[in-house]
Amino acid sequence: MNDQLYYRGERVAATQGEFVRRVYNWMGLGLATTAVVSLYTASNSKLLTWIFGNPMIFFGLIIAELGLVIALSAGINRMQAATATIMFFLYSALNGVTLSAIFIAYTSASIANTFFVTAGTFGAMSLYGYTTQRDLTSWGSFLTMGLIGVILASLVNFFFKSEAVYWLVTYAGIIVFVGLAAYDAQKIKAMALQGFGDEESERKGAVIGALQLYLDFINLFLLLLRIFGRRK
């Protein structure tokens, strides 16, 4: 009996680990897509002029990104895994187009340094969330409220241009997304532990998990870039 329980536990752990690796692999591929598209866009002066020289095109891309995230998050259960995967990579590519602006504003060295700082911070918090025995469920409501506050303060400051609010939002946002990196890592681990009805459901779970982690990483990177980035 003990042997059966041991091997069952081993199988559960292996299945859980495989799902978590799939989620992080998808996230990594999404980040790679964003980086490649962003570098290509930044190196194409005509494309930059077309995107950033026309506010309607730029804001149209932003709206398209938001629409993809909302559609993917809200409709994941109703769509096929292949459709969800395409939407995830389409969002990653569009995000790369709009994020190409950072290569205009900041030096390449400071962008690279900030990326490694982000990767280290994100990795450490993800590891904490995955390995800790502490239940982080209670963090959810706190982090959600913090995120809403950061978004609202950013929108208000778009008009008032207060430097004090700018830095307050920056540091508050960093705290929120550092916490979300751990919270979402534990949530993904819980998803794997609960299991999935079939391969299709597991693939969709991996895509939505990758999207959550991707958003945590990108937003943390952009906020840290405000601190560590050196403007041209």
b vs e for 35-64, b when ≥16 Cβ sit within 10 Å of the residue's Cβ? eebbeebbeeeeebeebeeeeeebeeeeee
Question: How far apart are alpha carbons 147 and 213 in whole angstroms?
Answer: 15
Residue spans per domain, the chain = 2-228
Residue scoring higher pLDDT (9 or 62)? 62
pLDDT above 70 (res 9): no
Query: What pLDDT shows up at residue 199?
Result: 87
100-117: pLDDT as tens digits = 999 999 999 999 999 999
Place of tokens 């303060």: 153
pLDDT above 60 (res 2): no
* 116 DSSP β-pair partners: none
| pTM of the predicted model over 0.85 | yes
Amino acid found at 14: A
108-151: pLDDT as tens digits = 999 999 999 999 999 999 999 999 999 999 898 999 999 999 99
3-state SS class at 106: strand
Q: Which residues contact 186 (CB under 8 A, 6 or more apart)?
A: 129, 130, 132, 136
